[in-house]
Structures are given as structure tokens and as C-alpha cells.
Structure 1
Amino acid sequence: MNPQVPFNGLGMSLGTLSRLSKAQTRSISAENPTGAKGQGGMATEGTTAAFARELGQGWKLSPSISIAGDTTAVLADIDGPGAIQRIWITTHPEHWRRLLLRFYWDGEDAPSVEVPLGDFFCCGWCERTNVNSLPVAVNPAGGFNCYWEMPFHTHARVTIENLSPDAVENLFYQIDYTLTDVHKDCATFHAQWRRSNPVPYMDVHTLLDGVQGWGHYVGTYLAWGSNNNGWWGEGEVKFYLDGDTDWPTICGTGTEDYFGGAWCFEQPEGRYATYSTPFLGLPQIIMPDGLWRSQQRFGMYRWHVMDPVRFERDLRVTVQALGWRSALNGQRRFLPLQDDIASTAFWYQAEPHAPFPQAPTFNQVEVI
């Protein structure tokens, strides 16, 4: 057998699973914060040390971390080349919007990912729901899993900031990665969060703007809070590519259409239907309860895994908030809505990337 196996262990699928590779598997967690070989489970103190006091070292002394208020913790600091292949993380739902994830690639000072924890995993409303998609899976009860492949050429750094003044107790996490050669044509992973609360009247919500460089758009998550009665999803999703100004190259036909649904996501009995598939989903529907919950809220995703939106110079993405007015003289009319829309846009691009908007504050991410 030739010991010089060319396969670098990336681009994994069932079709590549049998191939040998010289890639080295590593994993970072609170039990091995550096991911070093043969260094796991060595803690002598940690968040559960009191529970293991009769068992001693090696018996689950440090499975999680705590993050003081208004501080940032480093989850991973990895010398490459290599790629993050899977992330698992969990904490109490009340923390999902107050924790801000950041990823830095190849020594850059500015993050390529800057997203609240829950929104990154399609759970922007700080309430548990299950997601059954290919790159993101959320399992009972609040187990966040991410399979986006995240290559880096020299270095990767992952941090999480506690935006609130109160400590976050018991953040559990595991970051699985491989150390291997990375092809020069591998772009780095990016994600950005934006919120319009509310969307200005007769304006649009911008998911992404100011992106410069060569890359491809791979996904959208929306946490949509409806501030009106009636249907809210007539608005079109538009992609402005490579110099488009007034008019986009890609213009969809409606919000539910973009997310792969139809006819208001409605079931025959007149209710919304949830669904969660490998690339498209409306997994979360939060309904009024007749007392304190006054509005409908929705969580939906669309992954462009089989149909990435490619750009060479620049990219802007928007969505309209559009519903219906009451009929006037028998004629229906559209109603521009002023809803609460928080979006997470996912894309790959060659570095360097353009600066992101100013990071949100604790009050700006709050579920209201």
C-alpha cells in the first residue's frame, strides 16, 4: 500500500468515507481545551469537581465552563492548516441570544463569523425546537450541532462573548477538527447577524450588504416576529450580484416560496405546518396564548448546499416584509409590514473580507 495517500480528509460524504487519509483528528472541549494529543480528561478542578470528589482525576471534573458577565471566553485556538468539521454546544435557552459567537481565520483581527449562539443554530427565539437539516441539527433538549465544513490555512480562533452583565453557568461544547492540507481554492466560512425591529414602513430587511470578494452564499436563517394580523410572507428575497444596483439578478416570488413552502405554509385545517428537511425548514412556530404571548413568531432556514449563489466581486441580499390589506371595493392590496426580523446569512469567500457592521449590544439582541 502506498503510504502517501493523497486524500486530505475534507469534503466528507458517504462516498469518501472508505478513503484513507493522513489527516489527524483532534477535538476541543472543556475536558481538553487545547485539543492536544493525549491531553483529554486531565483536569483536577472544574464545574463538576465536587460531584467527582470521591472518584478523582479522570472522572468528569470539567465538562463545561462558566463565563462571567461582559467577558469573552476562547473556545478554540488552533494552528493549521486544517478544518473544523463539527461543533456541538449547549446551554440554557435564556442564554441563546446573549452569547455572541465569533470565528477568526488565519490571523485576521476582524471576525468572519459574528452571530448570537441561538441564531447560528436556527434557534433565535430562545425557546427549544428541533431542527433536522444537513448542516445544522438541533436535538432534544437544546443540543446544537453544526456540520458546516470550516477550512483554515494557518490558524483558527473561536470565541464566545457574554453580552449580559450576569454570568452564564454551564456552557458545554465540543469542537471536532482535523489537521490536514487545505487546498488553495478552499474559501473560509462566514456568517453575519442583522436585525430590523421593526422594519421601516415600505423598506426592506437587509440580510447582507457590503460583501466584497469572490465567494458563494450558502444559507439563510430568519427569526421572524409578526406585528400584524394576517399573512406576513408575500415579500420577495433578492440577491444583488457583482455590481447590481437598482435591480437584482435573482428575485424570488415570496418568502414561503424561498423557504421551499407554498400557500402560506398552511395545512388543510387552517393552521401553519412545521417541517424540517435537509435543506429547507420552518421548524418553529410560536403562537399567541391569549395572555402574555400576543404575536406570532417563526423560525425558518434555507441552505443553498445544492444551489450556492456564486459571486465574484460583491453581494447584497434583502427580503421584503409584505402582507395584505383589507379589500377595498373588492380589490386586494399588499401591505408593507413593520415586523421584527432577525437574520443570519451564511457564505464562503476568499479572504480578506469587508468589515462587518458594529457588533450588536445586549439590548439589541434581546427577544422582545
Structure 2
Amino acid sequence: MRKIILTKLFVLICCSMIAQDIDSKPEVTIVSLLNEMGDKDELAKLPQYAYKTLQASSYSRKSVSENKEGWFDNADASQFIREEVNEGRKEYVLMDVEGPGAIVRFWSTWHAQKFSMGTLRIYFDNASSPQIEGRIDEIISSNKYVGTSLSHKVASFQENGGWFEGHNLYFPLPYAKHCKVTYEKADESVDDVLYYQINYRRYAPEVSVETYQKGDWETGRFQESISAASKKLVQHNLTINNGKKNFLNGVVKAGGSVSIQLNGNKVVRKITVKINAAHMEQALRSTVIAMEFDGEKTVWVPIGDFFGTGYKLSPHRTWMSELNKDGEMGLNFPMPFQNLAKITIHNFGKQEVELENVEIIHTPWEWDSRSLYFHANWRNYPNISTSEKKDINYIEIKGKGKYVGDALVLFNNSYEWWGEGDEKIYVDGETFPSHFGTGTEDYYGYAWCSVVDFEDPFIAQPIGDGNRSPGLTVNSRWRSLDAIPFDKSLKFDMEIWHWAATEMDYAATTYWYGTKDSEAAFREAVKSVQLPLKFSDRFEAEGFDIQQINGGEVITQAFLSYDWSARNHLLWKNIKKNDSLTLTFYSEKERKGKLTMVFTNAPDYVVVDVSLNGKVIFKDLDLFAEKVSLQEYLSENEVILKGENSLVLKVKGGGRKGVKVDKLGFDFLKVD
């Protein structure tokens, strides 16, 4: 009997020890964060473990209050918390915060042509030596251990001989007690410039977090989780398995609407829309998608803005949005509801719009206390004056929820950069924003007003025509681990900080989740979607799409000392005889007249044939000049541009004694 009692006691003790061991395991780890990153359903729920999302950045320290001078100051580089000496080296402190927490996004850029890469160090839990140490680019954007989905540079272009780009790291770096990030210049004698934004979570004190350990990247212990997360981030466009589909098709007359309803405890997993209209651009703006979930109106956004393409169809793919070459647009946010969902397409334009395909994919959803409703709101600022710097509001929300992304669509009327403005995000009644940025393009993951289009899981610039010249620009940012929870309110302001005193059109779509009582301060804007759209009269070559390249390499190049339109031109380099380049560009209306093309001329530039839409326009065009200069070339006959247009450049040669001829520079074209 005693033996049996002792045996039972031993079993109870072992079970208790096992239970204690299970309870002592950290709640937040690199693996759990990577799993959360790729789980879209977590976006539609309140956080499992309470946290606040905050930001450390190099914003101007002169910005102390919106009522005081310096609020719009632009000195937002190399603004560090302090300097300190560690083991004889000078380190500049970017971030110094208490835990438990996790870095969830790290963006930075620098004057790449002026200095060698400095050293980034990250110290966790008050350690005297860093757990992460290395060249800044090799940690943030060229991190071979975490892969390109979680570590990349974007919008690369060459200006004044150096490369400029935005650098992004999304690999989560958790810590239990404390985190300090420092930077050491490669050369203290060089006045290098560092811009940075570090988004991080601060968990509630009771949350247990496992700290990143030195060598975690190198050992490969997280490779399986990294691969799984990366796969989810790039396979966003695959059909939802086991999802049921509902369709909405037909013609929506001017002023008309069509709707579809879904019943039951479900989640809309994906919405796909393809439309046709005589004037597609205006249809993308004047056709509106609206949604109601369980009787609450939560979505009202123009179709093009909703899918992150604005009023020009520009194919791209991200984690949340996609647009294929056939013009089919998709959005992948989960949209759960308990009883009833209603999706409506409104046509507020003056033309008929054909719904070639509207597809709603849905699956069952178990609604619980963490579930939230999906919202998307649109706010438009047409003809906004840039003569004075100002904060404009993206969204203001009252209630409880999570902020998960936004898309910006604008038309710039100037040849100057429009996006020096910083984001300012206030959470739960803050008097000073917990997110104070360093520039609009930095917020969207790129840098230096780049006109280069890009797409990555969390950020995209499908259209950058308006960054340095009159034209359209579209930027988007989707949040996962850097989503911003709020308990009472959220206010998102963005500075309008333009280098020119002009007017511009500026429209932001915001995506968020909330409880049934949460609401935005504004919703519908029928008159705004009916306004006529704006377009540029010239087509910048660096904004053309490359369809085919046979030989050489194409880059966007800028030199401030040259008079290129928008400060850039398309440079095709390392080319030889018979190499060819096929470019496409889109004209929203019919243009008929003489074609003017502006090329760069230089001693090492080639002779080329130029064909437009299958017809030779210029034959044996010699781009040689003794010095670098710009030259206009006028076609003999009239041409017609409409819709998609194809331009083919074929190298004929151009050898000159003692000079290697291997380049072509193309600035812009127009039809008058």
C-alpha cells in the first residue's frame, strides 16, 4: 500500500514539474512571431498578448509641439538619442527601450556614395556586448540568413554616381528586458547621414518573451519558420483552399448599384474585381465598393484605390493586394462577420461600367471575443495647396481595434518632390505622436523620392511617375507585426511638405479592424469620386515598363548638374550592336500629332533605330556628342497614342575611334 502511495506521489510530483515547465515556456518567441507574421487571421483579432506598437526614429528634435516653431522642421537625419563610448569606440544610440518587447520593422537609408557602410549593433537585456553586430546593410537589407522577403532594399537608382535605396528588415527581434540599438560610423571624419525608423512592440509586463541570442541567425535554428513565413508572404495570390465562391456580374448603369449578400458565421477571405468601361481611369475612381457587416457600414472606397492601384491599372503583387496583366484586382484581408455581410458596387460616374467579374471567396469563421470587423475608409484632398506646410488627416478612429495599412494615391503638379512630410500617429489620446516619421517615402519603405516602381510583400510603388514630375504616384504599406492596436482612439496625420508651392491631389485609403462600436470620423464622399482626373502631358522614360531586354542593363540615373526632366533619365548601358529594348507606356486618352523624343547625347552613346507601335519613327539616330547634352528629335509624320503603346530601341552600332560606345540615355517623349 505504501509503495502504491509513494508511486502516486512520485507521478503527481513529475506531472507538477512538467506542468510548471510548460507554464514557464515563453509566450513570445521568434518562432511565434514568425508564425503570427504570416497568419492573416491574426490581423482580424485583438492581440493574444497585450502590446503597444511604438516607433524610434531620426525625426527632427526641433519638433516638440504642433503649436511651436519647428513642428515641420525637416532636419530628420542623424538625430540620435545620445553618443556613448564602448570599448574605445564611439557609438550613436538610435533606440534605448525597456522590455519585454520586439523590434518588428527596421527601415533606414543613407548617402551611399559618400561613406563606407557603418556598423550596426543591437544589445539585448542590458548586455555589455552586442548580440547582433555587422555592417548596417548586411543586417537590414542584405541579410543572407533571413531571405529577401524579410530583408530587402527597394527603389534602387543611381544619382550623382552613388546608389540610393530604402533598406527594410522585417525579421522580428524579441527581448525580455531591454533593447539598445547603436551605430558606429565607418569614418568619423566623414559627415555621413543616417535616416532610420524602428517599429517595435512593448508588451505588457506580465508577458514572457524569449530574447534573441547571439548567433541565432547563423545557426539556422529558425530556418524552417523563416521559410514557412516567407512562403506565406509570397503565395498570397493562390486560390483559397476549400473556399466557397459567390459572383457578381453585369452592367452597372450610371448612378446605379448592385449588391450581394452572404449569410452565416463566415469570413470573406478574398475579393477579386475586374471592370470594363470606355474611360477606365475615371471608372476606377467613380466606381465605389461599399461593405456592411452585421448591419454596420465599414467600407466605402473607390475601386482603384481600394485595390492599391489608384486610377491607373499597374500590375503588381504584395501580401495583401494584387493586380494582374488582365486588369483583375484582388485584396486578401480577412473580413469576418457573425450573421450578414453585404457588398455593394456603386457607379457614381456618367458612363456604364461592366462588372466582368466580381468574385468573393469565403470560408467558415468561429467568432469569439477577439474577433474584429474589417474597415476601409477613403479621404480625398483635391487641389490641396502646398504653399504652406500642414498636417492632413488620413483617419481618425474612436473605439477599440487595430490599424493594419494604407494606400496613397496622388497627382503631383510640379517637377519638385512632394513627399518630405512625416507621419504622425497618435494612439489613445496621446498629445505627442508615438510614431513620428522622417518622410512619406520612408514610411512607405523606399527613399530619396525614387521614381522606380517596386513590389514587396509589405510595400509597393506600382506607379512612381509623379515623384519628380507632374504625374500619378501610388504607394502602399501593409502591416503585420507592426500593426497598431488601440483601446480608445487612433489619429493618423501626414505632413504635406512639398518643395514647390503648387497644388496637388492627395487621397489616402486606410485599412483597420474594430469592434462593433468602433467608427471613423468620416465615410462617404460622392462628390469627390466624381471629380475629373489629372494626367501628365509627357511620358518620362524612367517610368516605362520593360517588356523585353536583349542585351545590356537598364537603370534609372540622375545627376543634378544635368537638365533631365524630373532629374532622371533611363540609362541603357553595356550594350552592343543588334541589342534591343522593348518598353511600354500607357496613354489614358488618344493623342495625335508629331512625336517629340528627348535623348541624352554623349561621346560614348550609340546609333539607334526607334520604332513606335510597330512603325519605324527614327532610323540611324546618332546620339553622339562631344559633351553630355540633351537633344530633341521630332518625327516627320504624325503618330497616335492611345492605351498601351510599345516602343522598341535597336542598337545599330556607332563605333568611334578610341571610344567605347555602349550606352543610350532616354529622357521623355510627348505628342503635340
Common fold, TM-score beyond 0.5? yes
Instruction: Name the one with the larger strand percent.
Output: 2
2:250 and 2:515 map into 1 onto residues whose CA distance is: 33
Residue among 380, 391, 416 paired with 1:204:
391
- Does residue 274 (structure 1) correspond to residue 453 (structure 2)? The answer is yes
- Does residue 104 (structure 1) correspond to residue 292 (structure 2)? The answer is yes
Question: 2:268 — aligned with what?
Answer: 84
2:426 and 2:437 map into 1 onto residues whose CA distance is: 12
Q: Deviations over 1:332-357 (max 9, x none)?
A: xxx67642111100011111232552
Pairing 1:23-42 to 2, within 5 Å after superposition: 25-30=243-248
2:462 and 2:426 map into 1 onto residues whose CA distance is: 28
Check conservation: 1:225, 1:295, Cα contact below 8 A.
yes
Question: 2:463 — aligned with what?
Answer: 284
In the alignment of these two chains, the number of paired residues is 295
Residue among 375, 391, 401 paired with 1:215:
401
Aligned residues with identical type, % of pairs: 26
Q: Deviations over 1:235-292 (max 9, x none)?
A: 00110111124x3121111111101112222xxxxxx21111000111112369xxxx
Q: For CA contacts below 8 A with separation 6 or more, give which structure has more relative contact order.
A: 1
Residue among 167, 182, 191 paired with 2:367:
182
| SS of equivalent residue, structure 1 residue 119 | helix
1:219 and 1:162 map into 2 onto residues whose CA distance is: 26
Question: 1:243 — aligned with what?
Answer: 429
Amino acid at match of 1:255: T
Residue among 481, 488, 491 paired with 1:306:
481
Note the residue ranges of structure 1 that are not aligned, 5 or more in a row.
Answer: 1-8, 18-22, 31-63, 266-271, 289-293, 325-334
Q: How far apart are residue 228 of structure 1 and its match?
A: 2.5
1:275 and 1:237 map into 2 onto residues whose CA distance is: 21
Higher-Rg structure is 2
| SS of equivalent residue, structure 1 residue 91 | strand
Check conservation: 1:81, 1:179, Cα contact below 8 A.
yes
- Does residue 148 (structure 1) correspond to residue 315 (structure 2)? The answer is no
**In structure 2, do the counterparts of structure 1 residues 205 and 137 end up closer, same or farther at CA, with 3 Å as the change threshold?**
same
Instruction: Name the one with the larger helix percent.
Output: 2
Note the residue ranges of structure 2 that are not aligned, 5 or more in a row.
Answer: 1-38, 43-224, 233-240, 535-672
| SS of equivalent residue, structure 1 residue 97 | helix
- Does residue 117 (structure 1) correspond to residue 303 (structure 2)? The answer is yes
Amino acid at match of 1:81: N
Question: 1:253 — aligned with what?
Answer: 438
2:417 and 2:328 map into 1 onto residues whose CA distance is: 31
Mean CA deviation greater in 170-179 or 96-105 = 170-179
Question: 1:353 — aligned with what?
Answer: 518
Q: How far apart are residue 322 of structure 1 and its match?
A: 1.2
Check conservation: 1:100, 1:114, Cα contact below 8 A.
yes
Q: Deviations over 1:36-71 (max 9, x none)?
A: xxxxxxxxxxxxxxxxxxxxxxxxxxxx31112212
**In structure 2, do the counterparts of structure 1 residues 117 and 199 end up closer, same or farther at CA, with 3 Å as the change threshold?**
same
Check conservation: 2:402, 2:513, Cα contact below 8 A.
yes
Amino acid at match of 2:459: L
Question: 1:47 — aligned with what?
Answer: none
Q: How far apart are residue 24 of structure 1 and its match?
A: 7.2
**In structure 2, do the counterparts of structure 1 residues 202 and 10 end up closer, same or farther at CA, with 3 Å as the change threshold?**
closer
Check conservation: 1:284, 1:298, Cα contact below 8 A.
yes
Question: 1:163 — aligned with what?
Answer: 348
Q: Deviations over 1:130-185 (max 9, x none)?
A: 12100111111211011111111221111111112432224411101013422331
- Does residue 317 (structure 1) correspond to residue 317 (structure 2)? The answer is no
1:337 and 1:148 map into 2 onto residues whose CA distance is: 36
TM-score w.r.t. structure 1 length? Answer: 0.74
2:299 and 2:383 map into 1 onto residues whose CA distance is: 24
Amino acid at match of 2:244: R
Check conservation: 2:294, 2:339, Cα contact below 8 A.
yes
2:511 and 2:40 map into 1 onto residues whose CA distance is: 19
| SS of equivalent residue, structure 2 residue 41 | coil
